[in-house]
Amino acid sequence: MSKLMIQGTASSVGKSVLVAALCRIFTQDGFKVVPFKSQNMSLNSYITLTGKEMGRAQVLQAYACGLEPEFYMNPILLKPTSDKKSQVIVNGNVYGNFTAMEYHNMKSMFKDMIKEQFEDLERKFDIVVIEGAGSPAEINLRDKDIVNMGMAEIANAPVLIVGDIDKGGVFASLAGTMLLLNNEERKRVKGTIINKFRGDVEILKPGLTMLEDIIHIPCLGVVPYFRLMLEDEDGAIEFSKKVTAPIDIAVIKLPHISNFTDIDPLKNEKDVSIRFIESKEEFGNPDILIIPGSKNTIGDLIALRKTGLEDLIKEYSNIGNIIGICGGYQMLGRWIKDPYGVETDEKEIEGMDLLDIGTVFNEEKTTTRIEAETIGLKGNMKVYGYEIHMGICEYGDKAKKLFEIVDKNGEKANYPDGTVNEKGNIMGTYIHGIFDGTEFREYILNNIRSKKGLPLRRSDIYESLRDKELNKLADIVRNSLDMKRIYKIIGREFV
């Protein structure tokens, strides 16, 4: 059994993508590979086939291994609900809402569970590729660490440390990280990786030699800056504000925006531009406005009121096209109630009153993988995706159902989801991944193309595109790293 851990000098240095790349490389080379991240903090989550919740980064890594994503690849998921509080997901289920200090004091409780799960993966797979979180040099968190060097100790894993040169200061960050590790932790570090490099590597080489002389750890490669159509890390996403293509899709960048990966399939359409807006001045005249998911729907709705964006959305609803997803869907309704204080202390708030629904937050979370068919639009289109919500919608007399759920976690089902107004220009749904399938995506975009006199297009299958992009990623990273040395580090023969 082999294992390798990727840690970073900071958040958003590229750990998730490099883990995905190594997962695909090892898999291409004939090994049975699995990703693992003991603790992930992310508002982008996913529901497995068994209805368990996990972080999206490990989903991409699972696909890189040719595996169906499973919750044990990410046993602890933290979903921030405010600056000081998070919902804690353990083994795919809600464990509770805790402050940062409360959770910090709880972490040691999970060590045995994490150890058992990791050892089980060791028995079942040839190689486990482990991802750290943030930086291992957070010395204030060392005593209860379960995700960086604490995880490396649990797994007895060799560590590679990644630094992001694009932001500047990569030599100082790598050297500083090594300085703040204790002797036992330093012994685990077998190499460094410079990520996101632009320019001539020859100019960089003297610096690599000097860094090796300082920290006595070899640099195993320099990965160039690249752009691929793959999901972004939470902190690494570029929230573009420019219109760059004929179809202008604007997405409200909510303060607690979640599951913005729902938008990714739209980014892959050649004539579509995605931009994120936070103020009235940025609104413009989009062809489609998307209000995405939120981890604090009531708080984000209040924020939209304070910025004046709600008034603009209501004005735009008379002439434009609006799609609300999960929290965005709830905001479009007449009211939202939170009797149990699931999100905030606000017990009830008025919605935008653009769809005839109301929402009540429940104490239990709905987490399902679903297949559905359209019932409120022309034609019978199939969609698939997943639900993650604690709100339950109540339909008003004027509400027109949008979808019929026909499969729930692999079993036949028959219940409605979503709403569309009579005019057909405002719709909302709880289904995340709604644009992953080609039929609904084509329907929405071709309606816009038809109105604008643009050529109609067929949409590419998103999963096929993702797989091709993962192979491109593997090629870039394989050609950038000393794979022979990496195989030696994990005790495997170089392929």
Domain boundaries, the chain: 2-230, 247-459
Are the C-beta atoms of 426 and 322 separated by less than 8 Å?
Answer: yes
Taking only the tens place, the pLDDT of each residue in 93-146 is 999 999 999 999 999 899 999 999 999 999 999 999 999 999 999 999 899 999
CA distance 223 to 114: 31
Catalytic residue positions, numbered: 326, 432
The answer to whether the 2-230 and 247-459 domains have the same CATH topology is: yes
Show the tokens assigned to 59: 């989903």
Q: Is the pLDDT of residue 234 over 60?
A: no
**E-only strand ranges, 33-158:** 33-36, 39-41, 45-47, 53-55, 76-80, 85-90, 93-99, 127-131
Show the tokens assigned to 464: 């096929």
CA distance 323 to 370: 19
CA distance 431 to 441: 13
The confidence score (pLDDT) of residue 81 equals 83
Are the C-beta atoms of 247 and 452 separated by less than 8 Å?
Answer: yes
Question: Percent of the chain at pLDDT above 90?
Answer: 86
Higher-pLDDT residue of 64 and 84 is 64
Q: Which residues, other chains included, contact 213 with Cβ-Cβ below 8 Å and sequence gap of 6+?
A: none
Q: Is the pLDDT of residue 237 over 80?
A: no
Show the tokens assigned to 494: 């170089």
CA distance 114 to 356: 45
What letter represents residue 226's amino acid?
F
The confidence score (pLDDT) of residue 240 equals 76
The confidence score (pLDDT) of residue 238 equals 63
Task: Tell me the longest C-alpha to C-alpha distance in the chain.
Answer: 73
DSSP H or E run through 401: strand 400-408
List b or e across 55-92, with b for residues whose CB sees 16 or more CB atoms inside 10 angstroms.
Answer: bbbbbbbbbbbebebbbbbbbbbbbbbeeeebbbbbbb
CA distance 352 to 349: 10
C-alpha angle 483-152-490 in degrees, rounded to nearest 5 = 25
Q: Which residues pair with 53 in a beta bridge?
A: 47
Domain 2-230: which topology?
A: Rossmann fold (3.40.50)
Are the C-beta atoms of 232 and 12 separated by less than 8 Å?
Answer: no
CA distance 149 to 136: 6
CA distance 151 to 53: 21
Pairing mode, strands 400-408 and 411-420: antiparallel
Give me the phi and psi of 89, to 5 degrees please. Answer: -105, 125
C-alpha angle 187-193-199 in degrees, rounded to nearest 5 = 155
Taking only the tens place, the pLDDT of each residue in 54-71 is 999 999 999 999 999 999
> CA nearest 402: which of 423, 382, 384, 377?
377
CATH 3.40.50.880, domain 247-459, yes or no: yes
Q: What is the mean pLDDT of residues 449-463?
A: 93
Q: Is the pLDDT of residue 287 over 70?
A: yes
**E-only strand ranges, 198-298:** 219-224, 247-252, 257-258, 272-277, 288-291, 293-294
Least confident stretch, 9-18, 60-69, 227-236, 431-440: 227-236
Instruction: Tell me how crowded residue 336 is: count the other CB atoms within 10 A of its CB.
Output: 24
Cα end-to-end distance, the chain, whole Å: 16
> CA nearest 324: which of 351, 346, 342, 303?
351
Show the tokens assigned to 157: 């894993």
Taking only the tens place, the pLDDT of each residue in 25-48 is 999 999 999 999 999 999 889 999
Q: Which residues pair with 290 in a beta bridge?
A: 251, 323
CA distances, 15 to each of 72, 159, 282, 412 (Å): 19, 12, 32, 39
Taking only the tens place, the pLDDT of each residue in 185-217 is 999 999 999 999 999 999 999 999 999 999 999
C-alpha angle 204-210-215 in degrees, rounded to nearest 5 = 120
The confidence score (pLDDT) of residue 252 equals 97
Average pLDDT along the chain: 94
